[in-house]
Structure 1
């Protein structure tokens, strides 16, 4: 990886756009970033990290404040980096997320983060030729090309000395965290976690099995009612329990068989006693029934006489019920007749029957029914007349309004046409007004620049005069010194004469009277210094004259562009043109609306004309319809008035006639029904008397007294049937051969036999229950014993597997038989750290002149804590290993730098051997003396072998003197700036 060019804008302390040309800086392979504290040296490294990974190292990334606080609102924060990775040159352009003022209104809005990757040259296979614009795609592509994560890049390419001094003195836990980030030992941590999970799973399976065994043993103890002794093996105790359950079952079965035989013998004796008791009961019951019936003989005869008389009185009762119905019908007919007479509106005069009068009324109602459609049509026509009157009045009002609108439309259309033309004209003029306004705005800007240009010209004029004066003075000094030297040249040559050596002028070895120097001799050094000062003054004069010429050209150009106008005139004209432009824009914006209004008015003219014509046509039709309809209504009203008579309408008159006809018909029918009912009553009275005589009763009252309800008759019949059945049943029982010889007072002995059978049955039932419990206990013991033996057999491999997994998990996680107390991950990290120590030792020995070497230790920590990541220093002067914390400040810097470089080499090799052509080392050189600094510089020279570029960040003045190419960072209130120095 080689960096070519970095561009930052509004990033960190850099308010304006700054560019770093790494190709120019790294031409010699070594360059320096120097400047005041806070000027932004480390920010350049942050910019490189942000361009590649979208983040910066350390706590600065947590602050989320990458934008320059003094940058202008319209200037975006941006970092652009050009680099070459794996032979492919690319450009990465990133902007962070930050808040900026809203363009309209107050407050702030969030400027979203952006990222873009562009290929310089042909895109590599598998990549889009147009580059990438999604943040995640850019980050993933950069990481794949570099072959390392952000944490690895921060430690391998941007070497932070403070961090490695901290790493040098760190304990095992802190050192492990950094190494995990750099070497990516997640897969080994996953292996450790896999063993822990498998161990936990196996442990749970074993615990579940052991819990199942404990539960089964507890259930066996519950079944047998005794616990296992502590001195008895579980399997031996289970076999003994099984044997005892079988013996108990066999004993219970034998006892149950004996007691069942005794119960059967007692049950047989009890059955015979109960059969004899039943025969005695039947004899006693039959004799008692016959005696009871003999005592009730007289009552039974009275029941028979009462039933016979009631059956003879049944026809008389039926005839009397018919008489009562006839009397009720007669009374109802009389009430109906009286009510009909009261409702009849016209009394009967005796000359015409009611039925004939009703017929006349119905005939008249039929004649009126033919006029009902005409009455309904009359109502509809009158409603239509009212509706036509309203429509005619409304149409007249609408016609008047349309005529007024039609008269006003021509003037409105003309006004709208003028407004539309004005808007179109404004659209045409707006473009030229905008162009003129832009020119005036540019002139206004030029007018604003003129005072500064005039001031610059005046300053340059003064500077030229001063430079001319200075140059003249320097020239005078040079000429004066040159004349003095020429005047004292003989003395200068005499100073060089040596006795007995020839004179360079005359060649004589004798020097009788050498010239002497004056009071203020001038040497060639003085003359050369004066000449140099004159040349410097000449260059300053030429620079000032060039600046004055540039200032005059700039001012004259502004004057020419202003055309003789002042700034106030330009501002006034700009305001006037802006007002004119705004008015034109407002009018032009209404062009569409005004054209639409004109079109609407023109369309309204045609619409009003059409509506007037249609309205007048419809009005003529309504007027004609009303005239014919009024004539028809008047003629029909005379006919309907005669038919209506004294009623409100024909329908009411017709309803009256129909109601009167119905009342007359009802009265006639009620009178006929009442007469017929009187005749039926007289006939039914004669029939009742004849029926009583026929049934053998003296009169009707005697027959009615002998009547009984059907329920009473059925009750008496049922009682007489029961008497006969009881007598027959008793005689039949006494005649049964099975009761022959059985006396009514015999004793069967049932109580004694029952007591003996009950006792035998209870003993047999208890024996059955005991046998059932013994059988259930034996089956439970067998079932649980089978489950226990199966569980014991299954737990054997489970326990062996768990013990093996537990031992392996302990070893992998640094416990148990692991004497080093190192986990698998720590073991891998220890191997990497050992490689780092070997790589770092080569540089540390060179920089310390062979005194110090790194020593890796895999010993366990104090009190059995985890080890494997120990890092000490071997002091060759004493031959003993020292803790790194005992090194001095300068020695710590050498050790930290060596460790950082060694770690960078190992991480680069671990990342696939990516060639790191650019390397940055940040701070830490101030603790070194001159000799040690020389050794460090020799080591850094070795780093740039093979084309590698090394960038140093330092305040040390000697570093700045020794490194030919450097990037100077200047800090001011307006923001930091960069300056390339040689």
Structure 2
């Protein structure tokens, strides 16, 4: 990755839009960033890091905190980076989450983080990702470094530079884990531990299951079983021997209680029948009292009903007059409406008469202008006769000018075409000479293409196998998580079973107390059958409610159901895991046929090596095809130019002929133009002037004619309207006379009807008037009163006959007898249910415990092997080093091998970094700490004892070595850039020279090296400088290049 241009807006100290174009460096590959403290030098690194990863270059700066305090409220914080990667150019844009001022109203609104990634090409920008998640995924796949790796090897910010050098084994382990992604090795040791723990937990779980099952045994009246279940530790073998005879004893007691329960049920049924008959008789006595009260209420309501009947009679008389009354009202309304219309017609006619007088005067005035209209019409005819001649003048002028231009153009064409033909001849000779230099190319291209195809097939297998390994790891994690869920559920199940057992014990004790209270002399005991009861139990144990006991049972059964579901899920996941493992073995065998034996941890390395070979061959193929394309293009160009030369020769001949024709046409057109212009007045020769004059004359003619026609039309129209309105007024006057006579007759008819129905005046009629709904409502009240009176009388008469001579029964006494009998039945039935449950549960426990014992024996045999391997991988060995740390130490040795080459040059051979191999004291993690070997003393010492300058050189050498090793182990990583932000001020002149030489070795390979430094000597040695200039309104930058 190589940056081309960085654009920041409202970012850090940069208030507005700041553009840093690294292309201004041209072919320079090293530059210094300088400026005052706080000006914004490190912010440039932050901008690059944020654009790529959405994170600042230092861990102590979050994206939300990067907004500039100098920026205006309306300016949004955003960063854009233009960069190249593997020959392609990309543009990435990011904007962090920030507060934006509302467009309307007061306050701010929160904008979420946004991001976009484009690939730039000749056909336009191609959008590769359009949101933060997609951009992050695409960047990881393109650059193949995460943000931590980027900060460690490409952009080394303040505080990060010496971290790898001086950190202890634990911290260095975290750094190397992030850089080399050794999660796979840690997962192996964790998986071994988890498998061992899983086996151990499964044994413990099985023992707990067995204990829980045994503790659920029901043991009422069996002291031997109670003592065994309360013993610690639990004597499971003795309990299993005693369980079968205990079940037989429970079956015998159950039979005795069943006989007693039948007798109690017969007595209870008889009491229920007697109580039902008594309740029916009481209800009849209550009904008699209710009907007597209702009869009194109905008789008291008779005066109101009689008034309602009179009101209904008058309403029916009034209903006969409603139709005539409505008709009179309708006639009166129509009469008023017609009078209003007559008034409107009269007013309209007066307006029309006034307008008619004005229209007649205007029409007579327009008739007097006939002579003026005739004169204007003659002038229009005269102008229309000249129109064709004027138009021909304009056409001849344009045609003459056009012919002159064509003549000049043909002359120019002849000259330029001859010159173009000479240029084509020279170009054709050059391309024919170049074609002779290219020879056989196609056989080489075919060979490279075939090799690439074979390697891509191999790459597909490598990537598929890598993906399968990842799926296998994910499924293993899923199974382990389910195992943890199972252990958690088992613990809760144990608590639930203990609670249920406690409540059941409590209930059994309470039942025993109740049974002892029911014992009678010379009556058999329902449990043992004895007729003598010398010492019955006298306790008063509290009986748990059925809801409490049922809730405890449901909680226990729910957790048992969960346990079953988890076991099923574990089996399903283990089945899927087995399927993935089978696919892994299949793909591994196919891969071995292509590349020979390999280890699982070599997949990534082999894949990277193969990918690099494909990339190398693709570059070679592209180079060959570019040459092939060049040959084809040259041939096409020669062929095209030969045809073009022939075409140009023909064009030259045609152009010379056209030139002669154009000269002749121009002379003829010019003579005709002079002849016509002499017959037209000078002021009308221009087409625009002529059209203006003609248009003016026509407009005047039309206006005169239109004014005459409009005056005549208005006069005729108003005469017609006046006659129409006079006819409408006459019609309305006749209609009003007819309506007035009819109204008089109908009113007299209504008065006659009032007298006939007995109403003294119109007010009495209105008072008696009711609508149909009101009449129906009144009638319904009268009807319902009569029906209810008859119903109450009939029912009361029947009840009096039925209850004659009978008394009200005592329900309370009967209820008490039934309650006592029911309680006795419930107690016996609960005891029967308990015994049935005890028998069923105890039989199930006996079979399940036998199965659990067989499973424990098998699991203990598996743990012997897996547990031993897990202890070795976790570092419980002689050197106390884990499997993952052993791999990390190997990576560190590779880094030191490369780093020491540079460190010896920078220290004139004095220092060499080595890894500490001694085992640390106690349980302290070791194996990754660094020492420095001093050639001057011949002794080793800790790297923390180095001076500031020595420490910087060692850190720089280690960082450069780290970059090389990461690139080797992460194939496809493009390391074309390095930025450093500290340390050079601690170096003496000689050390500074050595450090710069080391960086020169890097930049000689084309890598861009940027350094933040205040050291004057460094600025003098490096001719390119990016100055960061701060002010009260924010900072800005500019490149300053010397030499």
TM-score, with length taken from structure 1: 0.47
Larger radius of gyration: 1
TM-score, with length taken from structure 2: 0.44
